[in-house]
Structure 1
Amino acid sequence: MTHQALIDMHSRSNGFLSDIGAKDSLVPGAVLVAASYETAAFSQSLFDALDILCPDTLDRAVDKRRADYLAGRAMASAAMALLEHPPASVTTTPGRAPLWPEGLAGSISHARGRCACLLSRDTSRSYGVDTEAIASGRSLTAILTETLNPTERDRIAKGPLPAAINATLTFSAKESLFKALYPQVGRHFGFDAAELIAPPTSDSLALSLTTDLTETLPKGRRFDIHHRVTDSHVLTWLSVPAP
């Protein structure tokens, strides 16, 4: 998919998608695509317009849930085309993770009007991407009290970025890490399974495991996570080698 084709996707979305663009993934062999989407512009007909299969599981879903799903799968479609992979549906596992076509591995995220996909042909690695609206008010309080421990709360108050952005980045990074590690761990684990090592820098942050998740994912294992910050959202992503 060329950049002109990204523009064509925007046109076919009839105002639902905007600002569609390929980002520098900083992950060898992986593509990263992100966009904005407008829930108010969603209509069921957009699934056909964008050549995205609407699953039966969304039959009774509200429009917001359908819009979120469509936005994420549209990014997956764009990422596949950038990798010159034939168009294919991305279904969902029982654990609600994307089920990628053979020969692909990746991750999808959507949150409050932003969506993203990190995708690669390298299936020897697993991938995680997450986008979040910069937290404030109750959302920020929830992150501070439910996601971060006292040491992390001290660390987000330092560094070059505002504390609210650091808090959101840490939350997002833990989401990305969960997505990347879930294929190896095979079970859910909490936010307390990883801890922010130091204040985020202008383009990355590091987490370390606080517990043994598997024999190959021991306590103390460090993960460096890329990030980007806009006026309204953060984006975090990483890849992890398979054991």
Structure 2
Amino acid sequence: MLNIKCPNNILIDNPTCIDTDSVSIQDVGHIVIASCTFSSNRFNNDQFNTLEIPLPCSLDNAVAKRKSEFLAGRYLAKIAMKHLGAEGLNIPIDEHKAPAWPSGLLGSISHSKNTALCVITKSQNHNFIGIDIEHWLSTSDANSLVNNIVVDQSEYQIMLPHISFEQAITLIFSAKESLYKAIFKAFSHYVDFDVAMVTELDFTTKQLTLTLCQNLSEAMHIGRQFICQFKLSEQLVTTLISD
């Protein structure tokens, strides 16, 4: 894994909501992952011009939090694509309100509170890619969401020797979010959390296996498995599916 610190290419006299010192790029095989922290309190609309990123009409009336999330994610996409040799490209919103990636590229964007992530790869190397980041759920949120997130209690029970119940539910939620982002392009519609379940877990390699519980297509049949990599920190969890 190669860690690269991005140069500060944002004008000092016109700072943006993005903490440029936090921006980094990781090369993981054929995959590029870009990350940063940002603050909606420092956002204003002029920052879209500063970073040369179009502000979609659909976000004209959005609150600063939503606009700063969008700006940070598209900024990361821009620098990640540049790292792959696709310079000067912007990512519009498609009819499903998802990122419309250029031909030949696959990508995924996620954000949670003040952290944003973007993963990009060339479609010749992968068929599916999805990334997600989540801050840990509170006890009350985990208890209220568990029945909507898991298919069977075994999904989180295999995690309890290693992490708390709240962390387990957050990890399962994030892993399934990464899966849905990865396979969304194949169906162009959203699927529920009960379409897949966690069937294997390896805390040594930080990987879990998601197995489809429903037939979505000929290629996406019951039993089809996806490997999800995960990273845990004190405040949040990051999951990645690349297939």
Does TM, scored on the shorter chain, surpass 0.5? yes
Equivalent residue, structure 1, for 2:233 = 230
Counterparts of 1:195 and 1:42 in 2: how far apart (Å)? 39
Equivalent residue, structure 1, for 2:220 = 217
Count of residue correspondences: 236
- Which residues in structure 2 correspond to 1:89-238 (within 5 Å)? 89-123=90-124, 125-148=127-150, 149-158=152-161, 160-199=162-201, 201-202=203-204, 203-238=206-241
Counterparts of 1:185 and 1:68 in 2: how far apart (Å)? 25
Conserved 8 A contact 2:109-2:119: yes
Higher fraction of helix:
1
Conserved 8 A contact 2:78-2:87: no
Q: List per-residue Cα deviations over 1:194-241 (Å, max 9, x = no partner).
A: 10113452522111111111111111111111111222121111123x
Residues 1:15 and 1:60: Cα distance change in structure 2 (over 3 Å): closer
Q: List per-residue Cα deviations over 1:21-73 (Å, max 9, x = no partner).
A: 12353xx3110111111121211111112221111111111111111111111
Partner-residue secondary structure (3-state), 1:108: strand
- 1:118 Cα deviation from its structure 2 partner: 0.7
User: Which residue identity is paired with 1:134?
Assistant: W
Counterparts of 1:16 and 1:10 in 2: how far apart (Å)? 12
Equivalent residue, structure 2, for 1:75 = 76
Residues 1:5 and 1:132: Cα distance change in structure 2 (over 3 Å): same
- 1:20 Cα deviation from its structure 2 partner: 1.3
Counterparts of 2:11 and 2:209 in 1: how far apart (Å)? 35
Structure 1, unaligned runs of 5 or more: none
Identity of aligned residues (%): 27
Counterparts of 1:170 and 1:109 in 2: how far apart (Å)? 16
Conserved 8 A contact 1:6-1:21: no
Q: Which moved more, 1:149-158 or 1:171-180?
A: 149-158
Equivalent residue, structure 1, for 2:89 = 88
Q: List per-residue Cα deviations over 1:161-210 (Å, max 9, x = no partner).
A: 33322221111110010011111233221000010113452522111111
